[in-house]
């Protein structure tokens, strides 16, 4: 027997609430980072991902993957960060064909300057209205959804 193709009323409400929360969260974090730091959220994410990587460096393809962005979009953003002196590119030593994005000391300093305000924004928007138990349950729900989506494909932005 075929399953009903439409979402239930409850599913539709949750789905639309999720889309609204996701959109508003992105817009607000984007606006706050632009106002406070003069950079888009995507640039902040690049600095953050590089700061967490071994040696503060990632192959450009790996960086695009962790950002869930296309390689061309990632390359464009890294170009801008290079202009600011926060990132530099180096040939990938393993094969010489690829490029590696490296967080510079100036980029590290900029991230350290901006990160506390960004963390406070995320905390106030996402977590201050939740109890610890609700936060744990929310995390468990997200983990369950991610597991159902399956393993990440290295080619998928």
**pLDDT tens figures, 77-113:** 999 999 999 999 999 877 778 899 999 999 999 999 9
15 class by beta-carbon count within 10 Å (0-12 exposed, 13-18 middle, 19+ buried): exposed
135/137 Cα distance (integer angstroms): 5
CATH of the domain at 116: 1.10.10.10
Task: Give the pLDDT of residue 152.
Answer: 65
Domain that holds residue 80: 34-137
Q: Are 65 and 154 in contact (CB under 8 A)?
A: yes
Flag whether 83 is in a domain: yes
Q: State the total domains in the chain.
A: 1
Token match 């889309």: residue?
Answer: 19
pLDDT digits (tens, 9 = 90+) for 128-150: 999 999 999 999 999 999 999 88
Percent of the chain with pLDDT over 70: 96
Please check whether residue 19 lies inside any domain of the structure.
no
Domain-embedded: residue 55: yes
Residue 99 lies in a domain: yes
Helix (H, G, I), strand (E, B) or coil at 38: coil
């Amino acid at each position: 027997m075929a399953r009903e193709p439409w979402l239930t009323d409850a599913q539709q409400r949750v789905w639309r609430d999720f889309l609204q929360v996701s959109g508003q969260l992105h817009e607000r974090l984007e606006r706050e980072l632009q106002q406070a730091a003069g950079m888009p959220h995507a640039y902040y994410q690049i600095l953050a991902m590089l700061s967490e990587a071994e040696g503060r460096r990632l192959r450009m393809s790996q960086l695009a993957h962790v950002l869930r962005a296309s390689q061309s979009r990632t390359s464009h953003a890294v170009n801008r960060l290079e202009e600011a002196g926060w990132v530099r590119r180096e040939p990938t030593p393993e094969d010489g064909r690829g490029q590696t994005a490296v967080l510079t000391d100036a980029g590290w300093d900029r991230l350290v300057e901006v990160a506390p305000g960004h963390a406070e924004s995320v905390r106030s928007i996402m977590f201050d209205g939740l109890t610890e138990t609700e936060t744990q349950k929310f995390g468990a729900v997200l983990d369950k959804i991610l597991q159902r989506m399956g393993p990440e494909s290295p080619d998928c932005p």
